[in-house]
Structure 1
């Protein structure tokens, strides 16, 4: 497979990748599953807001306020288009994927889930899609069951269908695993869950940045993702919800902008999405999110995915004969650009520290997925995660760095 991305051109658009680390080492950034780097276009968009149009939004009628409001709402419209949603009002801006899922649990979950209801999750979930449901289950006496992960890192779909026969009220799962790289068959799983009568929540934090996602085609009830993993700034996330569900849900927080009217007797809520956006939002970050969407559209999500598939296959080939190395999860042809591995007899933290000394940034630990590591009977892994600015030279550097790790511990 030939990538249509020009590595040198893309990498050159990310200022941070030009700087050395540890004085003289070329930065090899392989931690994009944690957060992606930002192209100059995104940085400039946020600087331009602060330099030229900084004002609060929605309530002011002066020139700066109107310009800021227009830029912020344009970002919502761009993001809706990016994920195939016609009505931008169905997108709520939050801080991140974690807040989005908590919003669902605290509003829809508290109102519509009742004692004894079944919530179906999977063994590969990030803590952000586990802990909110644990908290709600304790409060409302819900039942939680987990779709098993097979030894190859894919979901046991037969077990999933067995759980659906129990008529869960809610099904929530990740579109792509942040540890295994597994891309789950979201459309099939959503359709099956709907036939069983369940509401479906999707954690799309690792999906939206890396391949085309069309929610009109997938038809989830809720879908959450974060700006900072898709070349955008931190502090801005997105929650998509079907309009009938959003209208039926109570507000998440109280305060300015989420109200239509306040009296001494009470209040009435604003329309969706503002009903869920109390207080001054992350305005510059929202505008940066819109710039990130523009940037990714200019590259093309098909090109991004093809590039990552090519790099992932190359990584599997380069790492194939590393002594004692075990990659967790499915084969290179059926996963995204996330490669979590163990090195026999060497702790992942030691691996990451030595790689860092060579300028190579990877992640070590449980990656906010402790139950999944428990499933594979390992305390931690080292994770190299790829994005559009990575190159085969980065993976050659990773291989060379691992050779040094093994040499030190030999």
Structure 2
């Protein structure tokens, strides 16, 4: 089975125009578009259910709870989690990282400890650890970037000495690099460290099996995988979650409260204080069912084909004028194309492309340490997803040529 040729028809926004041109959406690494299945699920919840969960003995409250917990179960199956109780809902991946840092990290890290991250991490996997380290005094180490846009793992065993947590993105949001998570996880476990995987760019695009990857934590977000904004996920092994203290206090996360103290609830509720984003959770459940219906292997094959075509087309049209950061070997990357074009500033390039209806992202992509390693201040990033086509890439290639003429020196 391949991705249906008319898949764009299931995404309402992709039928609109921008500046009189059909929209060409190439910014899915920032946020994906939403299919009818997701929009309908959320609309139906608000129109026909719309009650709080876990709190009512009446019919629509029970329906809301069932829909939310069905979503949790479907998400668990989607990543091959051991139990649905290991799925913790957060507002985004950033909050999931902060939860791990403030709950697990605050209890397990001290002045004699270290964590290991990489040069290609998103700020969400850097800053929470830096904030925590200011108070606890542990060391943050970095796996360096190699010349080809992949990680240099030559000294991995040495870097892991004394490390309690290794936290690595599975796919770079700038370079598209697919990192060898199982290899890194095996090394981390051999050194006595736990392994956290940033799945934000990986889970939407490739089959994800946390058991096979052998990670201990994974953070990802809904809005990059056809789901709504305002919903993210922390997955972790149940025995780790059981040992972690609550992150936020309030309703739902308690079993009992007295003047003398409280008793925390069981997982997952221990980490889900207050009313959850019910509609968004239901929307994310619809998103994983939509992706599952297409087949994650089919999505990956579609994106491999598009990425190959993009490399060929952009080099064919623009030769040495264009640089695509990251690995040139397609099997080592996803469909994230960070572009340097002639001497055109990425923001200028993005604005010109916008006049052609093309949506790309310009900036540091919340990865300033990586930008410094690359020796650039910003890039223009085109990112591909299941609804993109070769025609989208043709339009991009033609518009880049016009941008080059406009900014000719």
Q: Given the two structures, how large is their TM-score scaled by the length of structure 1? A: 0.98
**Distance in 2 of aligned mates of 1:96 and 1:357:** 31
Cα offset for 1:280? Answer: 0.3
Please give the secondary structure, in 2, of the residue aligned with 1:342. strand
Please give the secondary structure, in 2, of the residue aligned with 1:157. coil
**Distance in 2 of aligned mates of 1:286 and 1:211:** 21
**Distance in 2 of aligned mates of 1:345 and 1:338:** 21
2:373 to 366, 369, 375: 375
Deviations 1:33-75 (A, max 9, x none): 0000000010000000000010000111111100000000000
1:280 to 259, 275, 279: 275
2:342 to 341, 344, 360: 344
Cα offset for 1:162? Answer: 2.5
Please give the secondary structure, in 1, of the residue aligned with 2:115. strand
Please give the secondary structure, in 1, of the residue aligned with 2:155. helix
1:224 to 202, 211, 219: 219
Give the match for residue 262 of structure 1. 257
Cα offset for 1:324? Answer: 1.8
Q: Given the two structures, how large is their TM-score scaled by the length of structure 2? A: 0.98
Give the match for residue 178 of structure 2. 183
RMSD: 0.9
1:169 paired with 2:164, answer yes
User: Is the 1:313–1:333 Cα contact (8 Å) retained in structure 2?
Assistant: no
In structure 1, list runs of 5 or more residues that go unmatched: none
**Distance in 2 of aligned mates of 1:291 and 1:125:** 29
Give the match for residue 31 of structure 1. 27
1:308 paired with 2:303, answer yes
Give the match for residue 37 of structure 2. 41
Deviations 1:3-35 (A, max 9, x none): 82123x21110000001112x211000000000
1:107 to 103, 106, 113: 103
Give the match for residue 65 of structure 1. 61
**Distance in 2 of aligned mates of 1:128 and 1:382:** 20
**Distance in 1 of aligned mates of 2:112 and 2:31:** 37
Correspondences of 1:9-408 after superposition (within 5 Å): 9-22=6-19, 24-164=20-160, 166-321=161-316, 322=318, 323-331=320-328, 332-408=330-406
Cα offset for 1:298? Answer: 0.6
Cα offset for 1:170? Answer: 1.1
